Chain A
Amino acid sequence: MLSRVAESIYWLSRYIERAENVARVVQVNLNMMLEAGEDPQQWWPLVNTTGDHEDFKKRFGEANQHNVIQFLTFDPANPNSIISCLRAARENGRSVREIISSEMWLQLNKFYLMVNEAAARHRIDSPNEFYSEIKLASHLFAGITDATMSHGEAWHFSRLGRKLERADKTSRLLDVKYFILLRSVADVGTPMDDTQWASVLRSVSAFEMYRKRHGRISPKGIVQFLLLDQEFPRAVHFCFNAARESLRAISGTQAGSTLNSAEECIRKLCSDFSNAQVDGIVSSGLHEYLDDLQTRMNLLGVGIHQTFFAKRIPESGKDPHGQRGQCAA
């Protein structure tokens, strides 16, 4: 398929997934406030999760419920706000409208219009309902994608984008929350601590599945579950496995042949995750581990770009036809 089209589909699903993840962290924080009482300190980690700390400080100063929600939901100047993500997703969707199914376009459009109307009102009447709707709209889009689009190359690019975005957001969330939560040593083992950890799980819809698997809530159990679990769909390892499958399907790589740079990256990530032990990760520093993981995910992104999306020109004197089926990086 066209490189430009592949890139648009990949980013379309990344942006939808990103919007969903922002909605998740905001909603969980709102709920936590209800249980633990209003605490402005609890809003900083949200800004950190999206990685735009500096920009926020410059424009808004101190974090509080109102400005963080505006910043993350409706701020058009924040490229990672929900509205910005949906605009970007829709622009990408528009440029591949003939590739995606009509049902996908319709849902994308409805999703965008829903958030855009709320943005025009500058006000959310019922936050809980609003963020739930966003999560559902994203799920609906993913479900429609799986149910109405042929599971060929375009679909694999869309899955690749969704899984990598999800892996990225789960790891960031873990990083921010772990750092913040362990800092308040006095709270460890108190009911407050449990509430906060439960909220980390809830923000990735992992609370119930975690209970089934590990029972008691413990920091290590959570790290194990959100990073290394191979069955929970928002766990980083699970996402990597799916991304690897899609990359393999896209490249059409046979066993034993050379891998392109993207495949090589994901192969190493998957094998490292298979061998990783949660005790080792925590004792040598979770933050350092996650930092390194972010760097490696960025490299994977670069590999995907260079292998599939970057504009190349045919080598002169050579029949470009002969290059079909290759993925020169």
Chain B
Amino acid sequence: MKLSDYKIEHFFDEMIGADGRPRSAVQHLARNLEGLPDGELILRQKSADRALIQMGITFSVYGASAGLEKTLPFDLVPRIIAGSEWNRIEKGLRQRIQALNLFIDDLYHDHEIIKDRVVPAEVISSSKGFRPACVGMKPPQGIWCHITGTDLIRHSDGEIYVLEDNLRCPSGVSYVLENRHLMKSLFPEVFKAAKVRAVSNYPLRLRDMLEYLAPPDVVAPHVVLLTPGVFNSAYFEHSFLAQQMGIELVEGGDLVVNDGFVWMRTTHGFQRVDVIYRRIDDDFLDPEVFRADSLLGVPGLMQVYKDGNVALANAPGSGVADDKVVYAYIPEVIKYYLGEEPIIPNVPTYICSKESDLKYVLEHIDQLVVKAANESGGYGMLVGPHSTKKEQEDFRQKVRAEPRNYIAQPTLSLSRVPTVVDGQLEGRHVDLRPYILYGKEIFVLPGGLTRVALKKGSLVVNSSQGGGSKDTWVLAENEAEADMASGAVMESQFQTQGTTA
């Protein structure tokens, strides 16, 4: 395997510098890749694919025929982030989450930020994620966004930008843990030498955070994870996290509200539930408050929550900040609440409900990425330079009809990482989704999920649109931070029957 054949073209490459040489943090890995005999890479890739299928690490695809399962393609070549760069990203994420939490709390209480004319009132009131039912609510410990999966990208200028905040039910963290597990078994030697920061304590951190939210009088809180069920595309993750945390995985039908508390149906009668990590959107949480046709939620749940007898994570209503128009104001939000400049900048965003922005967007739609304000998963989106004239015209009409529902951003050239394609390495675009937990303190999982657009030239990394994932290595700055590589061989001799030691 020769890295000299690898072409970075005019993109920022996470592994190879503009001079064509591996970046300093990546040298271990580069040497190891170059040392692999021909054909070895494809063998290890096949072994990884097989492991994923046998472990049943699959997701179901919406809109496809029932029961269709796919594995999230996993690419062998990790994305590596130097420790010093990561420290800055981590600081930026803490800053952002802190500001977002103050912001959401303000929106449901005194609206200071609106009174001070930093964010227009109509932007908030028209956001689909804003829940009038949550006005005046005081979530346990004053925290709204307990679990966040912020999407970051690196542009060709080498700078990292925040693309989306994802405060509702960010998924993907199970792949971070499983990818790491795979990498340790496939490349134990590189892994050990590289000194990578551990990710395996995430489930424990998550459980600690959830227990911290329990009503104050509860001594041993009973925490559960609420899933929409086996047909949800992220079911694997729900089940995996429940297992890793050692908590129960429940469906709406397992829970019932009675006498001001939430109970679950067990083989031995009813048992009280204190904290719910819910992986169901606000809309479906409680048919008495939100969508009446929801069969996934628990009737009466919101009243119990309001009375402080059960905690929900994330807090209902926190999705208001997921609106892509609200997103555009977050740099101002950070300055307003913290009096600080944002450490990680936003991607410049045109707000189509502003007349001057709208005009620019309609004129330059072929150069921009246009996104619906309340969609996720890569749906409802136009990538201008990769679109046909007809698609552009369709989007112009959509934007004109509902300007409030659209934003546009310049087409950023996402950075690339070498990726195995037919046994050779080719550059593919990536983004990065770190996970942040907000409990007693803010915890940022080192690295996060690197999603990779496997189609040549594609900028869409979503799993539903042909994306895959990579392990993300944040390098430790000292030995104590490094993850232990598995696969150490037991050296001791065992006694066997009929032999004398």
Contacts and interface: CB of A to CB of B under 8 A. Distances in A.
Given A1-B266, A2-B248, A94-B235, A311 B230 contact: no
A106 interface: yes
Contact of A320 (B53, B54, B251, B259): B259
Interface stretch (B25-33, B209-217, B237-245, B489-497): B237-245
Contacts of A320: 258-259, 263, 269-270
Contacts of A153: 267
Given A94-B235, A314-B256, A320-B258, A109 B55 contact: yes
B269 A2 contact: no
Contact of A4 (B53, B235, B242, B253): B253
B265 A2 contact: yes
A325 B268 contact: yes
A313 interface: yes
B353 interface: no
Contact of A110 (B54, B254, B268): B54
Nearest to B55: A106
Interface residues of chain A: helix, strand, loop or mixed (majority): helix
Nearest to B229: A95
Nearest to B250: A2
Nearest to A319: B259
A6 B265 CA distance: 11
A6 to B, nearest CB: 5
A311 B253 contact: yes
A321 B258 CA distance: 10
B54 A324 contact: no
Contact of A2 (B56, B230, B239, B264): B264
B13 to A, nearest CB: 37
B376 interface: no
A11 interface: no
A98 B249 contact: yes
Interface centre among B251, B263, B268, B272 (most CB of A within 10 A): B268
Contacts of A4: 251, 253-254, 265
A253 to B, nearest CB: 12
Instruction: Assign chain A's interface to a size class.
Output: 35 or more
Given A98-B239, A109-B54, A323-B269, A91 B230 contact: yes
Contact of A6 (B56, B240, B242, B267): B267
A284 interface: no
A33 B251 CA distance: 50
A324 B250 CA distance: 18
B171 interface: no
A159 B259 CA distance: 36
A110 to B, nearest CB: 6
A113 B53 contact: yes
Interface in A196-234: none
Given A2-B250, A4-B254, A106-B55, A323 B230 contact: no
Interface in A29-81: none
Given A95-B230, A319-B259, A320-B258, A3 B53 contact: no
A97 B269 CA distance: 23
B464 interface: no
A314 B267 contact: no
A326 interface: yes
A4 to B, nearest CB: 6
Given A106-B54, A320-B258, A98 B267 contact: no
Interface centre among A4, A153, A311 (most CB of B within 10 A): A4
Contacts of B458: none
A42 to B, nearest CB: 36
Contacts of B249: 98
A321 B240 CA distance: 29
Given A98-B239, A98-B242, A314-B263, A324 B269 contact: yes
Contacts of B53: 113
Nearest to B243: A98
A327 B268 contact: yes
B267 A3 contact: yes
A287 B47 CA distance: 54
Contact of B265 (A102, A250, A312): A312
Contact of A3 (B230, B243, B266): B266
Contact of B267 (A94, A106, A327): A327
A1 B242 CA distance: 14
B265 A327 contact: no
B54 A314 contact: no
Contacts of B258: 313-314, 316, 320
Given A97-B243, A320-B270, A109 B56 contact: yes
B271 interface: yes
Contacts of B55: 102, 105-106, 109
A5 B230 CA distance: 13
Nearest to A307: B267
A105 B240 CA distance: 12
A105 B251 contact: no
A325 B250 CA distance: 20
A238 interface: no
Given A113-B54, A319-B259, A320-B258, A1 B267 contact: yes
Contact of B240 (A98, A314, A316, A328): A98
Contacts of B230: 91, 94-95
A308 interface: yes
Interface string A95-138: 10111001001100110010000000000000000000000000
B256 A321 contact: no
Nearest to A322: B269
Nearest to B238: A98
B267 A308 contact: yes
A113 B52 CA distance: 13
Contacts of B269: 320, 323-328
A74 to B, nearest CB: 17
A29 to B, nearest CB: 32
B433 to A, nearest CB: 23
A91 B56 CA distance: 12
A234 B265 CA distance: 34
A95 B236 CA distance: 9
A311 B265 contact: yes
Nearest to A110: B54
B270 A2 contact: no
B256 A324 contact: no
Contacts of A3: 254, 265-267
Interface centre among A95, A113, A316 (most CB of B within 10 A): A95
B268 A326 contact: yes
9 contacts: A1-B266, A4-B251, A110-B54, A252-B268, A314-B263, A319-B259, A320-B270, A324-B269, A325-B268
Given A94-B230, A320-B258, 4 more contacts: A2-B267, A97-B240, A320-B263, A325-B268
Interface of B: 53-56, 229-230, 235-236, 239-240, 242-243, 248-251, 253-254, 256, 258-259, 263-272
